[in-house]
Structures are given as C-alpha cells and as structure tokens.
Amino acid sequence: MDTFSWIALRAADGVGPVLFRRLLERFETPARALAASPSELLTVRGMSEAVCGSIRSDACRRFAEEECRRLERTGVRLLTFLDAAYPRRLFEIGDPPPLLYLRGMTPLWEPAVAVVGSRRASRGGLMAAEQLSAQLAALGVRVVSGLARGIDTAAHRGALQGGGVTVAVLGCGVDVQYPPENRELADRIAASGCIISEFPLGTQPLAEHFPRRNRIISGLCRGVLVVEAAEQSGSLITARYALDQGREVMAVPGPINTRSCRGSNRLIKQGAQLVDCVEDILDALALGPLPVGGQASLFSDASQGVPSSLTPREAALYELVAQGPRHLDEITAALELTAGEVSAMVLGLELKGLLVQLPGSFYSIA
C-alpha cells in the first residue's frame, strides 16, 4: 500500500471522507489524485479552488512524511478502506473514514454491539454495563465503546472479564492516553482487541472530535445499547447515528428520578428496545440463543467457504475477491475472461448480496 499518498491526500485541508471517496472514484488511487492537474481536480464534485490548492501544496506531503515515520516508530498500523481487514460495516454509513489507525490486534469485526452511556454513571449503571458486556463477550460478540470514563470503561472491563474481544474507538490519536487513568485498560484492550481512530497520531481529544467518533462506534455494530444517558448526552448522538445507519437502538431502563437515566428512558419511550438481560440484546439483533464458546459460527468470514449456489466461474471470482479487495481489471486478467463477462458476473454477485463495490472500481466480499 502507498501509505504516503493515502495520508497526504487525507491531510489536505478540505478533503473529508466524502470528497476523498469521490477523488478515489475519479482517479482510482490517491497517488494519481495528488499528481492530477488543477483542471482535472476541479472536475470532481465538491472540489473548490482552495481545496485544489491544498492537494497540490507541499504541506500535506510534509505531514505524510512525518506521519509515516511516526507509524514506523510507534508500531501503529493503518487500514484503508481498500484493505481486506477494513470493517465492511463501515461501508454502510454515508461517510466511512478512508483511513483507520489501529493499535493492537486486527479482529474479526462481526458480530459487534456498541455499549455506551454516561461518564457520570450510577453504581447500578456501571454494574449493568459490565455484566451485559461480559455476557456478550463470553458469547463471542465484540463489545465496542469509546474508552471514556463511566459506562464506556465498564463496558470494556466487562468484555475483558468475559474473555472476549473489545474495540475502543477514540476521539483522539491512538497514541494519546485519554483519559489518562485508562492507560492500563487501553493496554489490556490492545493485547486481545484493538484501539482505533480516524484521527492522525498525536491528535488531542478536542470536543468536536467526539461526535465524529460516535458515527464509527455505531457504524461498526449491529446495534447500540445505551446504559444511562442524560438528556443532553453524547450517547444520544450515537443513538441518532445508529438510527440513521439502520442499526438497532436498545436501552437499559433506569429510575425515573435519576437525571443520568432521562435520556435513555426517553429512548425506550420513543421505541428503543428495552433491555434488562443479555437475551434481549440477542433477540433484538437476531443473534440468539448462542452457545458459550461457539462464537466461530457467528462470524461472516471468507473462511466459511464459497456459497454452494455459485457457478464455477462465479466461485472462482468469489474466491479471488475473498483474499482481499480486487480491482475490476485485476479480476478480468486473473480469470482470463472478457470485461463484459466479468462485469455481468460482478453485477450478479452484487445483486445476491455477496460482493460490494468499493471506490475506484475495487470489489470486496460483502
């Protein structure tokens, strides 16, 4: 992977996830986008003279050189949305991050449930988050949260106690210890799961970063469980993202006279699934009942083999793409078929829900 070009293009002022994807669709690679002329860049929808100038400037290239050195020094890995390890569910949201910084192990991402809530949670709320997360993790369900104080911390701790995998999504760089008291917890998470962020290394935890972080938390998951949320809680932002993304929203009920429960109780009044045991979560997400230790059957992974309904040609195409995202031209050359034949097969597999198109005419298994 051309790490330098991916970082440089993303670092250009004004190039957010949506414009990055349009640039990749137009030029196929970040390197070609960086080398494009102003007239070529301005053909991309949403491009302005200012952003064009930023892409062609030395500033983003200098940043990319420094960031590549930092990655090598810290051992942090970079996932692009053309990598096989990139979480497929993020393609279902409107603005998937082009880059994810990852500290720790690269997990199988499925199935996953987000557990979020108040930073100033009650003792009962903390116990509920920890217990439910431990039970989910013991069943092989990934527990995703934001490593914040309160419910997030309890969710991560519970998942680790359950012997499962937990994923922390940060509103800062993955090398920044925030909150500082969770340093040891972060190390434990990275040992068996991972810590991810779309923000470059060294990025500080600014308030405006956390709403952006929340869309990734919900985007990774089949559903979001809110455990204690005040009426103006960031957890409700995550719940709104979940609704927009077509995810299930669930909430643990709390005492009516407790401020930290008003937001989560209101979610239930508005139709969120009421949760008072882990079976409620499994039922809401069509995951249960699941046997302890049987998590391998939960994963949607290429290792499960080629669907038996495919023709020999379709099976060959599927096996090729299952090894990692492939460009349409690469598929055509590998299968020694005509472009028309491959295009028809790809379309058929997309309609069957087996393939998904990525930016730049790349394809991945769904």
Query: Which tens digits make up the pLDDT trace of 123-158?
Result: 999 999 999 999 999 999 999 999 999 999 999 999
CATH number at 353 reads 1.10.10.10
Distance CA 167, CA 100 (A): 13
Distance CA 135, CA 116 (A): 16
- Give yes or no: residues 50 and 159 share one domain: no
- Give yes or no: residues 63 and 185 share one domain: no
Number of domains in the chain: 3
Domain ends where: 265, 297, 329?
297
Domain ends where: 242, 264, 297?
297
Query: Which tens digits make up the pLDDT trace of 52-76?
Result: 999 999 999 999 999 999 999 999 9
- Give yes or no: residues 168 and 33 share one domain: no
Q: What is the torsional sign of CA 51, 52, 55, 58?
A: negative
In a domain, 106, yes or no: no
- Give yes or no: residues 247 and 148 share one domain: yes
- Give yes or no: residues 292 and 179 share one domain: yes
Q: What is the band of 184 on the pLDDT scale with cuts at 50, 70, 90?
A: very high
In a domain, 153, yes or no: yes
In a domain, 82, yes or no: no
- Helices 234-244, 209-219: crossing angle, 10 deg rounding: 50
- Specify the pTM: 0.79
Distance CA 122, CA 113 (A): 22
The pLDDT of residue 27 is 92
In a domain, 86, yes or no: no
Q: Which two tokens stand for residue 227?
A: 């455990």
Pairing outcome for strands 166-169 and 273-274: unpaired
In a domain, 81, yes or no: no
Q: What is the band of 292 on the pLDDT scale with cuts at 50, 70, 90?
A: very low
Query: Which tens digits make up the pLDDT trace of 20-48?
Result: 999 998 998 999 999 999 999 999 999 99
The pLDDT of residue 303 is 38
Distance CA 189, CA 266 (A): 32
- Give yes or no: residues 169 and 292 share one domain: yes
Nearest to 33 by CA among 52, 59, 14: 52
Nearest to 264 by CA among 214, 224, 219: 224
Domain ends where: 46, 72, 98?
72
Is a pLDDT exceeding 90 seen at residue 366?
Answer: no
- Give yes or no: residues 232 and 154 share one domain: yes
In a domain, 87, yes or no: no
In a domain, 80, yes or no: no
- Give yes or no: residues 255 and 312 share one domain: no
- Give yes or no: residues 159 and 289 share one domain: yes
- Give yes or no: residues 356 and 337 share one domain: yes
- Give yes or no: residues 151 and 232 share one domain: yes
- Give yes or no: residues 155 and 243 share one domain: yes
CATH number at 67 reads 1.10.150.20
- Mean pLDDT score of the chain, rounded to an integer? 89
Please identify which residue in the block is written with the tokens 């053309």.
82
Please identify which residue in the block is written with the tokens 């137009």.
26
Is a pLDDT exceeding 60 seen at residue 298?
Answer: no
Contact 116, 267 (CB under 8 A): no
Contact 136, 159 (CB under 8 A): yes
Report the share of the chain in percent with pLDDT over 70: 95
- Domain with 318 in it: 302-365
